[in-house]
């Protein structure tokens, strides 16, 4: 039995979260949005039950303060990130407000950080999924290690460039993090010793993504630019490479297939998290990896 003292804030918080999330999808609370995102089934902790952060688009940032007041403890990590609750009773949650998209200037920068121009800004809008992001998460030395879920932190998803430029800016969607956590759950359910995933590539700013188009095989309109894609490997030993999941003494496409099967299974269980699944074989310089995204429509590539 959970003490009412603790249960009440949790319930209020869930109710408070459901409304803005549903509103963000253009739907009245309690109805199923057309894009399947942010439904009544989506609780404070997400479908995985493992989310530890929620992101607020600028138009919803005024909702942070009333939610924060429901929790006893609070720590302001920087101007955008307030962590509320207490890690000892499992109620910790970071509420992160995004910077408006319009903070990106004509030169493609927010402050000193170079982001570039998104496909919609270049006149390419394939579908609503390719619209400019709502805004950017500001990542500083003070909040970069903020957990966004049980196995991931903000810094895991940063673009791999401009090492010495701070703050950095990030586009990241909760649904992606939720899906990655569910892939871990599914792998474990299948008896695979998957303790953690390494994100090889998460958000790729448009200017960074563009550098690899046509060479490394990056797509011009890659989902990585929209914060809902990640290239990942099960990496219990932290060496940045896929582990030998089937224990046959080698790391190859069979191990990748185990990951891909888990992603397929998660999509069957949670159709609202449907998206891209791509498999990439090893090259001389990198291990096999799997691309996962939540673009809202099914896409598959690579042989698996």
CA atoms 121, 123, 124, 130: torsion sign: positive
Q: How far is CA 82 from CA 78, 92, 156, in A?
A: 7, 10, 19
- With CB under 5 A as the contact rule, which of the stretches 14-22, 90-98, 107-115, 285-293 interacts with Zn ion? 285-293
Of 228, 250, 69, 53, the residue nearest 157 (C-alpha): 228
- Can you spell out the DSSP letters for 51-105? B-EEEE-GGGGGGHHHHHTTSS-EEEEETTEEEES-GGGT--EEEEEPEEGGGS-
Measured from each CB, the residue nearest to Zn ion is 291
Instruction: Answer for the pair 275, 295: CB distance below 8 angstroms, yes or no.
Output: yes
CA end-to-end distance (rounded Å), the chain: 46
Nearest approach in angstroms of CB 50 to Zn ion is 22
Instruction: Indicate the residue among 101 and 203 with the shorter CB distance to Zn ion.
Output: 203
- With CB under 5 A as the contact rule, which of the stretches 110-118, 142-150, 168-176, 284-292 interacts with Zn ion? 284-292
Here the tokens at position 24 are 């963000």
- With CB under 5 A as the contact rule, which of the stretches 76-84, 122-130, 204-212, 226-234 interacts with Zn ion? 226-234
Of 138, 149, 146, the residue nearest 97 (C-alpha): 138
Nearest approach in angstroms of CB 83 to Zn ion is 30
Of positions 114, 173, 179, 291, contacts Zn ion by CB under 5 A: 291
Nearest approach in angstroms of CB 260 to Zn ion is 13
Q: How far is CA 96 from CA 76, 128, 143, in A?
A: 10, 24, 10
Instruction: Indicate the residue among 144 and 291 with the shorter CB distance to Zn ion.
Output: 291
Q: Contact between 231 and Zn ion (CB under 5 A)?
A: yes
Here the tokens at position 208 are 């960074």
- Can you spell out the DSSP letters for 180-226? HHHHHHHHHHTT-----EEEEE----HHHHHTTBTTT-B-TT-GGGG
Instruction: Indicate the residue among 241 and 291 with the shorter CB distance to Zn ion.
Output: 291
Here the tokens at position 192 are 């695979």
Nearest approach in angstroms of CB 202 to Zn ion is 9
Q: Contact between 218 and Zn ion (CB under 5 A)?
A: no
Q: Contact between 228 and Zn ion (CB under 5 A)?
A: no
- With CB under 5 A as the contact rule, which of the stretches 68-76, 83-91, 228-236, 260-268 interacts with Zn ion? 228-236
Instruction: Indicate the residue among 147 and 276 with the shorter CB distance to Zn ion.
Output: 276
- With CB under 5 A as the contact rule, which of the stretches 82-90, 205-213, 231-239, 280-288 interacts with Zn ion? 231-239
3-state secondary structure of 278: strand
Instruction: Answer for the pair 113, 162: CB distance below 8 angstroms, yes or no.
Output: yes
Q: Contact between 221 and Zn ion (CB under 5 A)?
A: no
Nearest approach in angstroms of CB 109 to Zn ion is 24
Nearest approach in angstroms of CB 42 to Zn ion is 24
Instruction: Indicate the residue among 178 and 231 with the shorter CB distance to Zn ion.
Output: 231
The count of chain residues that interact with Zn ion, using the rule CB under 5 A, is 2
The residues of the shown chain that bind Zn ion, judged by CB under 5 A, are: 231, 291
């Amino acid at each position: 039995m959970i003490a009412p003292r603790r249960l009440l804030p949790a319930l209020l918080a869930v109710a408070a979260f459901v409304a803005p999330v549903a509103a963000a999808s253009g739907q009245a609370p309690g109805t199923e949005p057309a894009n399947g995102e942010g439904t009544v089934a989506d609780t404070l902790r997400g479908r995985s039950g493992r989310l530890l952060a929620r992101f607020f688009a600028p138009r919803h940032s005024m909702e942070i303060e009333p939610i924060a007041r429901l929790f006893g403890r609070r720590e302001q990590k920087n101007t955008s990130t307030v962590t509320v609750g207490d890690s000892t009773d499992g109620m910790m949650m970071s509420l992160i407000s995004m910077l408006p998209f319009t903070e990106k200037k004509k030169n493609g920068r927010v402050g000193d950080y170079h982001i570039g121009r998104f496909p919609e800004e270049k006149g390419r809008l394939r579908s609503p999924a390719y619209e400019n992001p709502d805004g950017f998460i500001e990542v500083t030395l003070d909040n970069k290690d903020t957990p966004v879920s049980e196995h991931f932190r903000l810094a895991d998803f940063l673009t791999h460039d401009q090492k010495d430029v701070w703050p950095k800016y990030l586009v990241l969607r909760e649904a992606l993090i939720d899906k990655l956590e569910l892939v871990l759950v599914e792998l474990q359910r299948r008896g695979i010793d998957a303790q953690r995933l390494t994100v090889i590539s998460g958000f790729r700013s448009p200017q960074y993504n563009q550098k690899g188009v046509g060479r490394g095989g990056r797509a011009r309109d890659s989902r990585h630019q929209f914060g809902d894609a990640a290239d990942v490997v099960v990496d219990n030993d932290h060496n940045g490479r896929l582990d030998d999941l089937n224990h046959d003494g080698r790391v190859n496409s069979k191990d990748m297939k185990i990951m891909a099967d888990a992603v397929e299974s998660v999509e069957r269980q949670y159709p609202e998290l449907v998206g891209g699944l791509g498999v990439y074989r090893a090259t001389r310089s990198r291990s096999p990896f799997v691309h996962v995204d939540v673009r809202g429509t099914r896409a598959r590539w690579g042989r698996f």
